[in-house]
Structure 1
Amino acid sequence: MATSFLSLEGVSFVLPNGEALFSDLNHIFDQRRTGLVGRNGSGKTVLARILAGQLQPSRGRCVRSGMVRYLAQQVGPTANATVADLAGVRGVLDALRRIEAGRFAQVNFDVVGDRWDIRHQLGHALEQEGLKHLDADTPATALSGGESMRVALIGARLSDADVLILDEPSNHLDQPSRLALINWLQHWPRGLLVISHDRQLLACMERIVELSSLGLRSYGGNYTFYAQAKDQEQQNALTELERTRLDRRREEESMREQRERQEKRQARGTRNSRQANQAKVLLDRQRERSEQSMGKLRRQQTDTQLELAQRMREAAAQVASELHIHVHAPTNIRIVQRQVVALDKVVLPFVPNATRQISLQVMGLQRIGLVGPNGCGKSTLLRVLADRIEPLAGTCRITDRLAYLDQSLDNLGTQCSVLEQLQDINHTIDEGAMRMRLAQLGLGAQKIAVQTESLSGGERLKAALACVLYADEPPELLLLDEPSNHLDLPSLNALETLLRGYQGALIVASHDHAFLSQLGLTNLLVAGTEGWELMAVDHTTQ
């Protein structure tokens, strides 16, 4: 079979409001394992759907060589969906059942093709993935987020696709599942495009392609190579901007001196002509020549100013495309040494026996990473701490100044704007300062004015963080459940910086070990087969 590829030829996409999401993209995605990165809202998912043939571009075309399989980042089940639906094999299994029931219509054979053993393949794959308690007819609603994604990835692996496009495939996966995903992708023999902000996953890619306002740019290496190249580009862009500013100041000074010299010559010539008692016609000609000379100088200087302004805009645009997201740390938080969490023999609902009971004390400056496999009770523990659900037994004493951001971001209202919600909880910062802080988060004037339900996942997380951290009374205990999901790489770096500087108590559940390693944790709370274990973090080994 010929090598498969996806080719973009002058592809543009315009949103319903007339805004161009991206324009005139020309690129070839070949057999190399490729990671697609970019800011939240830059259009990565839209581009992926165009590449997969699910969406038509506003202009240009996409040429596909071979069959493409697209796996969306949201694999939540629809009504009556089953494991077979999540794996994308429901149609084949239904056709097999019809044939087995004696219905030999040609359409059933066309659907099955050569996949006569798909039922066995699916069962074997589920068993290998540690999901043998599931079968094709298990209702999808019975699965956790991590299990749903693992089943969807099984379907992608079993497909006959020549090119796989995976959109944030590691979201909701625990660390063993992430490692299994990475191992599989490293051995995938055909075309692969992965949209991700997971640095561990991007590290196994053969190249990184970035989508930005400047278009698509390819970096011929993995995430480490990409990060180093971006740092160098940022330095080069800042150097060029400063050089351009200096050139502009020098040119403006030179032009000012030229104008002054010309004006002095003009004034001197006029005085000399009057003293020489020249005829009016000669004086008029001299004045006309002088004005023409001055006009020529002004036109030349105007052209130079326009050229310098254009160079400044280009240099500034290059720097702006590389600017990091900035998050302001809370300034009026009370640093407390006292105990903010005290759990005594608390029994958690809906979790395995090994992690059903927990006793835990947390002091005001402790920073705890909550780790463990999917289904061990991490989210349940956070919900008990946040008073969202009642424990089955035991006693809880928890500070009332806490904030909890779960994976669905329930603290963020969907029917009003970010600015409106922030104004409701902060009465000390004026609107201009609020707008500035939201803009520094990557939420511009257009984003903060619309209902938050229309924002992307990463944009909604930024909005939810703003509504917690910029409140009049910021929390002294911050509970976060998988906060790195959906965040673009600059925003992830900003969040890491923010949380390192956060002075309250912190408990954060995450499967992203690279993210946790950047937070300056004091402890890890590990859910294992023997129960919960609070371990001190040794930073000398990180």
Structure 2
Amino acid sequence: MPSHENSTSKNTPKHAAVTLHNVTFEWPDGSVALDGISGTFGAGKTGLVGRNGTGKSTLLRLIAGQLTPTRGTIERSGDVAYLSQTLTLDTATNIADLLGIRDKLTALHAIENGDVAESNFDIIGDDWDIETQAAEYLGDLGFTALDLTRSVQQLSGGEAMLVAITGLRLRKAPITLLDEPTNNLDRRTRDQLARLVDKWPGALVVVSHDRELLDRMDATAELYAAAMTTFGGTYSEWETYQTTQQQAAEQAVTSAKSALRLEKKQRIEAETKIARRAAQGRKAAASMPPIIAGGLKRKAEVSAGAARNLADARVSSARAALDAAESRLKDDEAVHLILPDPDVPRSRRHAEIVYGDRTFYLQGPERVALVGPNGCGKSTLLEHLVTGVDPMPGGARGTLLTDRFGYLPQRLNDLDESRSAIENIVPVASSMTVGEIRNQLARLLLRGESVNRPVSSLSGGERFRVSLAKLLFAEPVAQLLILDEPTNNLDIATVDQVVDALREYRGALLVVSHDYDFLRRLGVGTVLSLEGDGLAVLAGDQL
């Protein structure tokens, strides 16, 4: 599938829910997020994929109307409901806010208390049973008797995500956009979300790094090289197709390189023949009358010029064929960090974790995964370790035994949103020059003007890389990294790159993740499973 064409294959839905016409979007600093994107999203379910930074989240915000295209237009077949990649989870927000029904509930309760203002009836519309319906939908996901005035801060990340998705279900919009909906969801809740997606009414566009969810889509759209292409099949089918296309492109490049070498060789041979003929002509001309010799010389020069032009044209054509073949190849970049050794002795204890009658010590350069269902207290335990906040009543508790640690929170709230990537890192990497920081960020595939833009304008994957860089480049070097759901908001290629980066780190890791494949690839040796009222300690190969 050519990278610079909008194409379809198989059975892409014919009826368009969203149509993009040459959509371009530039940030206020002039950097281009999307450039001339055209294409359609069908009336079924579409998975939107592409590397972090290609503009997936920006495109969803444009379709949702939160941003306005700099150039181009967007046509929508109806109202749009949108789940942001980053949920608003401040203390002033309650569950009714997350569901998007606070105004309706306020109006409903006002009417129940005798307030018959017309504005209340306008707000409610036909949704007189909204409170009952919300309880029913939440019950479908395992929530029972959930207080809608409860602060979202009391929910786990996974619970908050499910509540927000339930809010979109209540809206019943013709078009729904989900940006990384499986973030923070455990296996059970991912299965629940998958069942919701299977029967979701209307058009659905999903940005996700979850292969299983993407395989439930009707079509797959990819943002790559300033174009959107659409394939009428699941992610796995698209991936197989892409592999075949890349193999064909690699073969075409090999053939084009051989053809170019041959044409260059023949160009040299042609020049050699021209030189020999010229020498023979000069020798013969010495015995001829000047007028005849001059005519033969001009004829030879015309013939030589034609031969050169033909050879040059063949070389140019072969070079163009090689350029065209190489343009079909996708650049699979890898992370190549150079990190100092944190010098962690095997006997060095970093943390003590206690749950029930079980105590676990994390020590040496050990890699430990912390797993368990949503709401069991994994993130709370990490926050308790790092900040000393109260643990869950009756839950796991712990003590850090080192001050050389780095913590990556689940919500990536460790960054100053108004400052750039470099400005966030300079205070913690005091011995590094700005140039050295820029070079290290480039090794994390953050390049160009992206390192100077405010963090608030970066994609989720780019923000994650800044947070990871802040940990890895900090001085003194952390001997323990504590990571809470590090693969959230990352595309599949970036997850691979994060694995590469963390493999270069020689200290200890404590990782909360529902992505068991990611944990296995990190080389996790020990698994702590919070289950019931106890702590199970398992070997890494039991994931």
Question: Which 10-residue stretch deviates more, 356-365 or 367-376?
Answer: 356-365
What is the alpha-carbon distance in structure 1 between the residues aligned to residue 353 and residue 111 of structure 2? 59
Match of 2:328 among 298, 312, 318: 318
What is the alpha-carbon distance in structure 2 between the residues aligned to residue 122 and residue 440 of structure 1? 47
What is the alpha-carbon distance in structure 2 between the residues aligned to residue 208 and residue 83 of structure 1? 33
Query: 2:352 is matched with which residue?
Result: 343
- Judging changes above 3 Å, is the alpha-carbon distance between structure 1 residues 283 and 91 closer, same or farther for their aligned structure 2 residues? farther
Question: Which 10-residue stretch deviates more, 166-175 or 122-131?
Answer: 122-131
Deviation (angstroms), 1:157: 1.4
Give percent identity, aligned residues only.
33
Question: Which 10-residue stretch deviates more, 504-513 or 416-425?
Answer: 416-425
What is the alpha-carbon distance in structure 2 between the residues aligned to residue 275 and residue 29 of structure 1? 79
Kindly report which structure 2 residues correspond to 1:11-90, keeping only aligned pairs within 5 A, or say none. Answer: 11-16=22-27, 17-77=29-89, 80-90=92-102
Deviation (angstroms), 1:80: 4.7
**RCO greater where, 1 or 2, for CA within 8 Å and sep 6 or more?**
2
Deviation (angstroms), 1:114: 2.5
What is the alpha-carbon distance in structure 1 between the residues aligned to residue 476 and residue 320 of structure 2? 45
What is the alpha-carbon distance in structure 2 between the residues aligned to residue 514 and residue 208 of structure 1? 22
Query: 1:361 is matched with which residue?
Result: 361
Deviation (angstroms), 1:200: 3.2
Match of 2:204 among 178, 185, 192: 192
- Judging changes above 3 Å, is the alpha-carbon distance between structure 1 residues 343 and 78 closer, same or farther for their aligned structure 2 residues? closer
Query: 1:406 is matched with which residue?
Result: 409
- The DSSP-based 3-state class of the residue aligned with 2:352 is strand
For structure 2, list consecutive stretches of 5 or more residues without a partner in the other structure.
1-12
1:532 matches 2:525: no
1:377 matches 2:377: yes
Deviation (angstroms), 1:494: 2.0
Query: Per-residue displacement from partner, 1:450-469 (whole Å, max 9, x unpaired)?
Result: 44444222112223333444
What is the alpha-carbon distance in structure 1 between the residues aligned to residue 397 and residue 40 of structure 2? 59
Query: 2:7 is matched with which residue?
Result: none
- Judging changes above 3 Å, is the alpha-carbon distance between structure 1 residues 55 and 430 closer, same or farther for their aligned structure 2 residues? closer
Query: Per-residue displacement from partner, 1:88-132 (whole Å, max 9, x unpaired)?
Result: 223433444455535363x65454333221121113333444444
- The DSSP-based 3-state class of the residue aligned with 2:528 is strand
Q: Does the CA-based 8 Å contact 1:325-1:490 persist in structure 2?
A: no
How many residues align? The count is 524
Deviation (angstroms), 1:424: 7.0
| Superposition TM-score, scaled by structure 2 size | 0.83
Query: 1:351 is matched with which residue?
Result: none
Give, as a single letter, the amino acid of the residue that structure 1 aligns with 2:529.
Answer: V
Query: 2:317 is matched with which residue?
Result: 307
| Superposition TM-score, scaled by structure 1 size | 0.84
What is the alpha-carbon distance in structure 2 between the residues aligned to residue 286 and residue 14 of structure 1? 63
What is the alpha-carbon distance in structure 2 between the residues aligned to residue 153 and residue 394 of structure 1? 31
Q: Does the CA-based 8 Å contact 2:266-2:311 persist in structure 1?
A: no
For structure 1, list consecutive stretches of 5 or more residues without a partner in the other structure.
346-354
Kindly report which structure 2 residues correspond to 1:2-401, keeping only aligned pairs within 5 A, or say none. Answer: 5-16=16-27, 17-77=29-89, 80-97=92-109, 99-100=111-112, 101-103=114-116, 105=118, 108-132=120-144, 134-279=146-291, 282-319=292-329, 321-328=330-337, 330=339, 332=341, 334=343, 336-343=345-352, 355=355, 359-385=359-385, 387-389=386-388, 396=399, 398-401=401-404
Deviation (angstroms), 1:428: 8.7
Query: Per-residue displacement from partner, 1:275-300 (whole Å, max 9, x unpaired)?
Result: 32423xx4444444344344444444
Give, as a single letter, the amino acid of the residue that structure 2 aligns with 1:310.
Answer: A
Deviation (angstroms), 1:261: 1.4
Deviation (angstroms), 1:485: 0.7
Query: Per-residue displacement from partner, 1:338-382 (whole Å, max 9, x unpaired)?
Result: 24335275xxxxxxxxx5886221232432111123343322333
Question: What RMSD, in angstroms, separates the aligned Cα atoms of the two structures?
Answer: 3.6
Deviation (angstroms), 1:144: 4.3
What is the alpha-carbon distance in structure 1 between the residues aligned to residue 251 and residue 401 of structure 2? 51
- The DSSP-based 3-state class of the residue aligned with 1:326 is coil
What is the alpha-carbon distance in structure 1 between the residues aligned to residue 14 and residue 303 of structure 2? 66
- Judging changes above 3 Å, is the alpha-carbon distance between structure 1 residues 326 and 231 closer, same or farther for their aligned structure 2 residues? farther
Give, as a single letter, the amino acid of the residue that structure 1 aligns with 2:26.
Answer: L
What is the alpha-carbon distance in structure 2 between the residues aligned to residue 427 and residue 493 of structure 1? 29
Q: Does the CA-based 8 Å contact 1:5-1:30 persist in structure 2?
A: yes
- Judging changes above 3 Å, is the alpha-carbon distance between structure 1 residues 390 and 69 closer, same or farther for their aligned structure 2 residues? closer
Q: Does the CA-based 8 Å contact 2:381-2:398 persist in structure 1?
A: no
- Judging changes above 3 Å, is the alpha-carbon distance between structure 1 residues 55 and 448 closer, same or farther for their aligned structure 2 residues? closer
